[in-house]
């Protein structure tokens, strides 16, 4: 029986401009994208500096620092999903956010205080020095919600993060859009 639902941030609870930026600049440069991605993971876990990620991406794309920052930081709340959480899930399940985000400020930039208050736990990768799909991260999230991993449903837009949650003992859903999510959620619950 599911007692808690844990949501990913980017691509699920929030929509960002980074994916379009990636498609524009790295679609035919996978090796360079891999370097950007790995540096981003190091930033997420606190092993590298955010400014270094910006500098590297500026050099790799020829875009201005302002443009790179805007694309990285221009993220908006998925209002439709948040409203569904407020009306359909709040009070019935413990709710959490589990994200490979590199700083706490991102939560305040994306969500209003009321939206933040929908969640019992907000756990970001830099809080614990690891990132998804490390299975330990899912266990930490379940522990903070005070439920066993087997009683958690994890929702993410990346298949390897969903696989990591499954490996950690959670049920998991791949998020593509709201219509699919509602249908799959009904089946999972």
DSSP labels, 94-112: EEEEEE--S-THHHHHHS-
pLDDT tens per residue across span 22-36: 778 888 898 998 999
**Is the same domain home to 61 and 105?**
no
Does 14 score more than 70 pLDDT? Answer: yes
**Is the same domain home to 69 and 95?**
no
**Is the same domain home to 8 and 64?**
no
Q: What is the pTM of this model?
A: 0.76
**Is the same domain home to 176 and 116?**
yes
**Is the same domain home to 35 and 118?**
no
- Domain-ending residue, one of 48, 73, 98: 73
pLDDT tens per residue across span 132-183: 999 999 999 999 999 999 999 999 999 999 999 999 999 999 998 898 999 9
**Is the same domain home to 123 and 51?**
no
The DSSP 8-state label assigned to residue 120 in this structure reads S
Query: What is the distance in angstroms between the CA of the first residue and the CA of the last residue of the chain?
Result: 8
**Is the same domain home to 133 and 55?**
no
- In the chain, how many domains are there? 2
What is the C-alpha to C-alpha distance for residues 130 and 123, in angstroms, rounded to an integer? 11
């Amino acid at each position: 029986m599911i007692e808690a639902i844990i949501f990913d941030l980017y691509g699920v609870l929030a929509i960002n401009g980074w994916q379009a930026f990636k498609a524009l600049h790295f679609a035919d440069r996978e090796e360079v994208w891999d370097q950007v991605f790995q540096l981003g993971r190091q930033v997420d876990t606190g092993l590298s500096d955010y400014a270094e990620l910006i500098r590297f991406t500026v050099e790799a794309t020829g875009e201005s620092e302002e443009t790179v920052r805007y694309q990285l930081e221009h993220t908006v709340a998925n209002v439709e999903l948040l409203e569904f959480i407020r009306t359909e899930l709040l009070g019935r399940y413990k709710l959490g956010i589990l994200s490979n985000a590199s700083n706490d400020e991102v939560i305040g930039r994306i969500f209003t205080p009321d939206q933040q208050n929908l969640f019992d736990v907000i756990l970001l990768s830099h809080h614990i020095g690891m990132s998804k799909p490390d299975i330990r991260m899912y266990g930490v999230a379940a522990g903070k919600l005070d439920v066993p991993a087997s009683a958690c449903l994890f929702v993410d837009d990346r298949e390897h993060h969903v696989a990591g949650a499954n490996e950690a003992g959670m049920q998991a859903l791949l998020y593509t859009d709201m219509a699919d999510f509602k249908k799959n959620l009904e089946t999972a619950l």
